[in-house]
Structure 1
Amino acid sequence: MTRRQAALLRQAQIQNAIAQSRRKKARAIALAPSNKLSAPRLLMLTLLTSLLIMLSWGYARATEIQRVVSDKGIEAWLVEDSTVPIIAIDFSFTGGSAQDADGKAGTAAMLSSLLDEGAADMDSQAFQTALEDNAIKLSFDAGRDRFYGSLRTLTPNKDIAFDLLAKSLQAPHFDANPIERMRAQWIVSAKRKLTDPDAIASRAMRDALFEGHPYGRDTNGTEASLARITRDDLVAMHKNVMTRDGLTIGVVGAIDAESLKAMLDKVFAPLPESGTLQPVDDVEISKTGEFHVDFATPQTKISFAMPGIKRHDDDFFAAYLVNHILGGGSFSSRLYEEIREKRGLAYGVYSYLTDYDHAQMLAGGMGTRTENADQALMLVKQEIQRLGNEGPTEEELASAKKFLIGNYPLRFDSSSKISRQLVGIQNEKLGIDYFDKRNSYIEGVTLDDAKRAAKRLLDPSKMLIVTVGQQIKHADATPDKPAVSASASVAAPTAANDNEPKAKVGVN
């Protein structure tokens, strides 16, 4: 990392640390159980957070990655720094919600919330107390293609932390009471989504793009699917997903390679070598048209998607820059300029590239008042058409490069981000030297490359569009007063409707 990048990082960290503190405080208030955290617990968590911030400043100076392989063959990538006594570990297994059985969407999500609810010789209360008393932060999460875990601990408590992690992965209880408690929480979340326009739009988009495919399921499940999940389903998913053959690990902090090797063998070596994963077919993003979900709200949620690009495609970084220019660059993007700045039709509009293991797409969206929805959507199509036909300008490309290169140090402004990045670049098979090479990939994109990628990606005729809100009609279209597009209309989902209406930190 260069001195300039380090300076940018240190400057950004002050603001970022303040923002992180506010977000964590809000989240703690929202999620805290009725019994308040003890004063010692709060003190230790405050210390842990402070040390994580201090530790990140050290990585502004160096992010040398060591490839560590334990005696039993478990591999991890390590960024070692003993500036402060903190260790951050992230890991992932192949197999996420795409492995949920038909009719049992949410199995992986439920599994993620149960691994720390009792394991080995500890019941749920004992396990949670051990985490709290030692200021250990342990969490799990299910993505579409992978299952993720995270551990944060003070170095003096590492033996306890590693022991708890080993127990949670190797011998979770799946006791009846925690299962029902977590099921109830996931069902509450599923019910809330039924009245959330963003969730309704996402659901309708999934149904249209991935009908009959595992990606079409709700990662967190529906009320009906969650009710069907049994203990046997959880045990089976644990057995098939928590295996060494699909494991990637990133470690950051005050631990040396030899100590890490011992931890890897203690925690991960006892896991099965492999499991039985259901094959997942590749999906071509090919469905087009417009679908409307009637929903009583003064705002209309607009979502769109079209075919994307694979991560290892030669045009990927050109496409990455083109997306930034279109809608990924927030305040500097074409969509923001046309829709927000010039006309005030929406507070925000965005686009992004998604690369699942078995599907790639360029997607985006915005929220706008219902009477402005058709005008805003017409402008989105126009800008996609224009950028696709003409490509970006030299100035736009240079500005996008400057932003994406200058902003890159923010990917390393906390130890947690670094450990997640280590896992991400392994999962994407980008190479251990990716951090050093990434900016050169951005810089190497020519204007011809960007124009070729824009022409390849951006075509309004390939768009699938979902709108959620009240349907209205307008007069004939002009560029600033478009007509309503012909579209299919479907009903908003209800609690009784398990089958929704049929209408991933990146490391880039």
Structure 2
Amino acid sequence: MIARFIAPAFALIAFALPASANVDIQRVTSPGGLEAWLVQDNSIPFVAIDLWFDGGGSADVEGARGAVHLMAATLEEGTGDLDSQQFAATLEGLAASFSFSTYRDNLVVSAQMLTENREDALALLRGALVEPSFDPVAVERVRTQVIQGLQADANDPNDIASLTFNELAFQDHPYGSSLDGTIESVTALTRDDLVTAHRNILVRDRVAIGVAGDITPEDLGVLLDNLLGDLPLAEIELPGDVTPTLPGGVSVVDFPTPQSSVLFGHSGIARDDPDFFPAFVMNQVLGAGGYRSRLMEEVREQRGLTYGISTWLSLGANSPMMMGGFSSSNDLVGEAIEVVQAQWADIAENGITQAELEAAQRYMTGSYPLRFEGNSEIAGIMAAMQSDDMPVDYINTRNDNVMAVTVEDIQRVAARLVDPDGLHFVVVGQPEGLEASN
């Protein structure tokens, strides 16, 4: 992921929300039919816009792995008569900030600007989105940066673990390979590959839009058509769902390091599943709650087997997963895995206690408003919500949904979701006394 932030002064002009995190979202439809969610706040002369284009790195065409990532990284490298240096200088002169980031399921564009410079900033952004130059000199420079990143990843145990787990779980599906591509695939990419990736991803009918700040719904509608109206409609099918093929067990990747990196997981739960909130709260108790979680207590505090361990619900559009990770010295990693397996089995069979539930609910509801500390954060959250097909009132009802979860709900969902026999561990290092099971 390559992103550039040019105006740190934006950190000084964010607005805070009340502790309840109630957010007044307006749904805006442009004259041309583009829909956005808007939180209007005219108290400061600043606007943040997030654009989440569906597909992301998973939409690479066959034989061009890494094209979407490289394409996104070169969007800010010139448009029209502006080369990369002129583009950057113009952006800085406008006190605006753009970033272009590629994820597995989305290409995300974030923009922040002052109201007085909004028209010029958006004209520059439109050029980057609609008419990027893909200048050969700039492309080669960015390609070199990407390849250097891939070389570094090849020597990072955490990156090796992630790639290995995905290859084993998803095989030929795009989830089974790095969205950055390989050194070989990135080296072979042509300008035509970037043009194709641009045509396939930056389309106006697969974009979620979040806007926060000093703009009216009427002005936003005109803005959206000017900014995105010239983008084409989608022509390709996006990748479909995939069922992980990874059985329970342990895979070991030999890597010369005194500390093993471990990634573990199995199939998970989709965000639109009726049982999502019980699973969400259960995961907080199991491993997402930092020092308050069971795994931190059992693996670190009680036994000193790691400095940190966590779990998360990975909500990939094509295959949700329940995941976790930690690092441990080679002589202790086997014992740490046994403790994780025991805790996985215990929560599957017994669920959690009322005290654990109440502690998790207090933290989850109390910390939630802190996510909405500024326009940029709010715009991003709203775009992500639309991309995930979440209801417009999710922010205002989320804490109520967390508080509605009961111990019985979690008992039922844990029995359904948590699969001790299906839990697979990828260990990168030279673990002592631990053999691969498959």
Alpha-carbon separation, structure 2, partners of 1:51 and 1:61: 19
Match of 2:95 in 1: 135
Deviation of the 1:286 alpha carbon: 4.5
- For residues 393 and 238 of structure 2, what CA distance do their matches in structure 1 show? 33
Paired with 2:240 and 2:362, the residues of 1 have a C-alpha distance of 38
Shift of 1:487: 2.9
In the alignment, what sits opposite 2:163?
203
Q: What do the CA deviations read for 1:162-184 (whole angstroms, capped 9, x no partner)?
A: 10111111101111111101100
**Contact kept in structure 2, 1:60 and 1:413, CA below 8 Å:** no
Paired residue for 2:271?
311
Higher mean C-alpha deviation, range 115-124 or range 342-351: 115-124
Structure 1: which 5+ residue stretches go unaligned?
1-26, 33-40, 474-483, 489-508
The alignment status of 1:99 with 2:59, answered yes or no, reads: yes
Give, in whole Å, the separation in 1 of the partners of 2:207 and 2:245: 29
1:188 aligns with 2:148: yes
Any unmatched runs of 5+ in structure 2?
Answer: none
The structure whose RCO (Cα within 8 Å, separation 6+) is larger is 2
Q: In the TM superposition, what are the counterparts of 1:32-51 in structure 2 within 5 Å?
A: 45-51=7-13
User: Which of 189, 192, 198 is matched with 1:238 structurally?
Assistant: 198
Question: Which whole-Å CA distance do the structure 1 matches of 2:263 and 2:359 have between them?
Answer: 27
CA distance in 2 between partners of 1:58 and 1:486 (Å) = 51
Aligned equivalents of 1:123 and 1:379: distance in 2?
A: 56
Aligned residue number for residue 176 of structure 2? 216
Residue 400 in structure 1 maps to residue 350 in structure 2 = no
Residues 374-398 of structure 1: CA deviation (Å, up to 9, x unaligned): 1111000000001111110111111
Instruction: Give the superposition deviation at 1:472.
Output: 1.8
1:116: which partner in 2?
A: 76
The aligned residue for residue 161 of structure 1 is: 121
- 1:384-399 equivalences in 2 (<5 Å): 384-399=344-359
Tell me the residue number matched to 1:336. Answer: 296
1:170 to 127, 130, 138: 130
C-alpha separation in 1, matches of 2:416 and 2:101: 34
CA contact (8 A) 2:31 2:225 kept: yes
- Residue type of the alignment partner of 1:202: S
CA deviations on 1:455-482 (whole Å, 9 max, x unpaired) are 1122221011100111322xxxxxxxxx
Q: Could you say which residue in structure 1 is the equivalent of 2:394?
A: 434
Q: Distance in 2 between matches of 1:333 and 1:173?
A: 49
What residue number does 2:319 align with?
Answer: 359
Give the aligned partner of residue 466 of structure 1.
Answer: 426
Deviation (angstroms), 1:321: 0.8
Relative to structure 1, the CA distance from residue 356 to residue 62 in structure 2 (aligned partners, 3 Å threshold; closer, same or farther) is: closer
In the TM superposition, what whole-angstrom CA distance separates every residue of 1:292-313 from its partner, at most 9, and x where no partner exists? 0011111011110111011111
Aligned counterparts of 1:58 and 1:128: Cα–Cα separation in 2? 36
Contact 2:52 2:384 (8 Å CA) reproduced: no
Deviation at 1:95, TM superposition (A): 1.3
Cα 1:239–1:89, aligned 2, differ >3 Å: closer, same or farther?
same
**Hey, what's the Cα distance between the residues in 1 that align with 2:19 and 2:290?**
27
Match of 1:478 in 2: none
Q: Is the 8 A contact 1:241 1:277 kept in 2?
A: no
- In structure 1, how many angstroms separate the alpha carbons of the residues matched to 2:238 and 2:215? 37
Partner of residue 418 from structure 1, selected from 364, 370, 378: 378
Tell me the CA shift for residue 277 of structure 1. 3.3
Q: Do the aligned residues in 1 keep the contact of 2:22 with 2:395 (CA within 8 Å)?
A: no
SS at match of 1:271: coil
Aligned mates of 1:325, 1:453 — CA distance in 2: 14
Residue deviations 1:47-104 (CA, integer Å, cap 9, x gap): 322112xx23579786211111111111111101111111110011111111113343
Match of 1:487 in 2: 437
Partners of 1:345 and 1:66 lie apart in 2 by 49
**CA deviation profile, 1:120-173 (whole Å, cap 9, x unmatched):** 232222211111111211111111112110001111110111101111111011
1:272 to 232, 235, 243: 232
User: Residue 365 of structure 1 aligns to a residue in which SS?
Assistant: strand
Query: 1:399-447 CA distances to partner (integer Å, 9 max, x unpaired)?
Result: 1111111111012112221111101111122211111111111111111
**Amino acid paired to 1:399:** A
Matched-pair contact (CA < 8 Å) for 2:265–2:424: yes
**Structure 2 partner of 1:258:** 218
In structure 2, give the amino acid aligned to 1:314: P
CA–CA separation in structure 2 for the residues paired with 1:312 and 1:46: 36
Contact 1:240–1:277, Cα closer than 8 Å, also in 2: no
Residue 347 in structure 1 maps to residue 297 in structure 2: no
Q: Matched residues in 2 for 1:357 and 1:260: separation?
A: 29
Shift of 1:352: 0.3
Determine if contact 1:401/1:442 at 8 Å carries over to the other structure: yes
1:297 aligned to 2:247?
A: no
> What TM-score results when the alignment is normalised by the length of structure 1?
0.83
- Could you tell me how far apart the structure 2 residues matched to 1:404 and 1:51 are? 27
Question: 2: CA distance between counterparts of 1:279 and 1:87?
Answer: 34
The residue number in structure 2 matching 1:409 is 369
| RMSD (Å) for aligned C-alpha atoms | 1.9
The structural deviation recorded for 1:285 is 5.3
How many residues align structurally? Answer: 437
The one-letter amino acid of 1:224's match is E
Aligned partner letter, 2:369? P
Task: Say whether the 8 Å CA contact 1:58–1:81 is kept in structure 2.
Answer: no
Q: Provide TM-score, normalisation by structure 2.
A: 0.96
Structure 2 residue identity aligned to 1:441: N
1:75 is aligned to 35
- What SS does the aligned partner of 2:389 have? coil
Distance 2:41 2:220 in 1: 13
> What is the aligned partner in structure 2 of residue 447 from structure 1?
407
